[in-house]
Amino acid sequence: MALPFEIQTTTVTATYTDWQGNPCHGSVTFEPCPCRMVTDNGTVIAGSLHAKLDANGQISVQLPTAGQAGLSPDDFCFVVTEEVDCLGCARSYSISTACADGETECSLDLSDVLNT
């Protein structure tokens, strides 16, 4: 099921390869923190999103953008858990999907936050 049309989203992408450039296999899970959000019209958005890496080792998902009017709380984040074979272990960290002021089309590549 798609998110309600009035919810702004951020496109989150990632590409996983091994040292030889071969695509990795596995999945990435996005779990909202807190565990649910509520729109102004009363729609509850809850649960995690599980993205399986495609044949090229890539994912692309749409997540609600943090800090937007009409979605409470407005300061949520997502806990990202990578279960990718070429990493050798599962890894978890938090990301924000907030956009820069005035930005209407937001995107985030996980490689931009992996080194932080």
Q: Cα(42)–Cα(86) distance, rounded to whole angstroms? A: 41
Q: Structure pTM?
A: 0.89
Task: Report if residue 68 sits inside a domain.
Answer: yes
Domain membership flag for residue 77: yes
Tokens read off for 102: 């005035």
Per-residue pLDDT tens over the stretch 18-46: 999 999 999 999 999 988 888 888 888 88
Torsion sign (Cα): 86, 90, 94, 97 = positive
Tell me if 2 is assigned to some domain: no
SS3 85: helix
Query: Tell me, what CATH number does 91's domain have?
Result: 2.60.40
User: Cα 99 to chain center, whole Å?
Assistant: 13
With respect to residue 101, please indicate whether it lies within any of the assigned structural domains: yes
Domain that holds residue 79: 9-114
Query: What residues are paired with 58 via a beta bridge?
Result: 15
Percent of the chain predicted with pLDDT > 90: 53
Cis peptide leading into residue 32 (ω within 30°) = no
Please report the pLDDT score of residue 114 as a whole number. 67
The per-residue pLDDT for range 59-75, each reduced to its tens digit, is 999 999 998 888 888 88
Residue range 110-114: average pLDDT? 85
Tell me if residue 113 falls in helix, strand or coil: helix
Nearest C-alpha neighbor of 9 from the set 102, 98, 110, 113: 98
In a domain, 1, yes or no: no
pLDDT tens readout for residues 96-106: 999 877 777 89
Is 95 part of a structural domain of the chain?
Answer: yes
